Chains A and B, each alone.
Chain A
Amino acid sequence: MRSFSLIDFVSLFAALRWTVALVVLALAFGAPLALGLALGRISRFAGLRWAMAACIQVIQSVPLLGLLFFFYFGMPVFLGIQVPALVAVTVAYTLYTAAFLGEIWRGGLEAVKQAQWEAGACLGLSAWQQFRHIIAPQALRLSLPPTVGFLVQLIKGTSLASILGFVELARAGQVVSAATFQPLLTYALVAAIYFALCLPLTLWSRSLEARLDGSR
């Protein structure tokens, strides 16, 4: 046993880079997949719409912790080879991000009136041009506040990677707490760091929402 020192403080902040790395990985892979899911959900083909809705429904009805364990132990079973834990965790967070962002973005796309697509078609724009130049900018503006809100959920969600042994912020907190026997100080500090990461995003999301409301 030793007292809480500068080293512990530094180790918490050093672990923060894994929290950030997990968020960046989840967004980098999850966002394109989310866009695909959202487009599939508003597609003309009923089969595609159903399939995408089912995927989203399944992922959203399973705990994030369950997804993490499923892929952590499942990847070797599916692929027949051992994969680094980071790959399995990234797959789980990617699917989690894709399901939630996909549903948020679908809402944004559907909120743009059908007549806007038709107006684009009347101007002779192709389907992709209609989406890219008419629908997407408006949908983006509408779905930005909940997207930022989900980012907060994702940052908080990365704390679950600690359970698989990832030394990110939450896990570093457990380690420091066990070494120093100072759970109060350690967990308060860990909570404060998460809070400092998430609060600005929450406030930003809220101000975006307020600005959107005023412009209606």
Chain B
Amino acid sequence: MNFLPLWRYQNQLIDGAIVTLELTVISALAGLVIGIAGAVALKGRITPLRWLVRGYIELFRNTPSLIQIFIVFFVLPNFGLKLPAFEAAAVALSLYFGAYSVEIIRAGLDSIPRSQVEAGQCLGLSGWQVFRHIILPPALRNAYPAVTSQFVLLLLGTSLASQVAADELFHVAGFIESRTYRSFEVYAVICAVYFAMAMSFKALFAVIGLAAFRWPRRR
């Protein structure tokens, strides 16, 4: 075991980690937009749209993310949509994260008892005010733990983008391995970097959660 040959590749590691973070954040933001839109559609009255969203959720939650990335990268060019590796991975991961987000956000909205909405209406609040002040804050608090743990899973899942040669951290590992032949050491270091990133996000989310959702819990 010898970690020294890896030392000179620290810049590549940092670059890879940055691309991983970019991929994670872009996919998470796009996925959350899909999630909110999907949850609104599921709550809406247009039946075909509800079916469409349900079909989307089941399709993306019941097939491997790796295959989804392959399909976006290898199959879409047949339809004239040729995406570079990073973009293809971002599209696939956004759709994957989105499918989980829809369910999380819908569950968050569903967790508000109907009576609280009615109580707000009795106080003469408008539809928007009811949503903004009565539904949204507790819905956010209820959805927050699930969204953040899904975010960490997304961060770890971006490693699959290496399989279409997007320049993220795991792909950098392959590069360093091919230069140094120190396979075990390289992947041990890479795992440690992912671990550090995942733990940092968990700590960050815990602090944000404590600061943002301070009002007392109902027992």
Residues of A near any B CB (own CB < 8 A): 57-58, 60-67, 69-70, 73-74, 76-77, 152, 156-157, 159-160, 162-163, 170, 173-174, 177, 183-184, 187-188, 190-191, 194-195, 198-199, 202
Contact = CB atoms under 8 A, between A and B. Distances in A.
A62 B198 contact: yes
7 contacts: A62-B198, A64-B156, A65-B159, A69-B190, A70-B191, A157-B64, A202-B58
A62 B75 contact: no
Contacts of B75: 183-184, 187-188
Given A187-B70, A199-B62, 13 more contacts: A61-B195, A62-B156, A63-B191, A73-B183, A74-B188, A77-B1, A152-B62, A160-B160, A170-B67, A177-B74, A183-B74, A187-B74, A191-B63
A62 B64 contact: no
B199 interface: yes
Interface string B63-93: 1111110110011001000000000000000
Contacts of A67: 191
B188 A159 contact: no
B184 A66 contact: no
B50 interface: no
A152 B58 CA distance: 12
Given A73-B183, A77-B1, A191-B71, A66 B63 contact: no
B140 to A, nearest CB: 23
B194 A195 contact: no
Nearest to B195: A61
Given A62-B191, A191-B71, A73 B63 contact: no
B154 to A, nearest CB: 11
B134 to A, nearest CB: 24
Interface in B5-58: 58
A70 B191 CA distance: 8
A210 B6 CA distance: 52
Given A183-B74, A184-B78, A63 B63 contact: no
Contacts of A60: 198
Contacts of B58: 195, 199, 202
Interface centre among B58, B63, B159, B173 (most CB of A within 10 A): B63
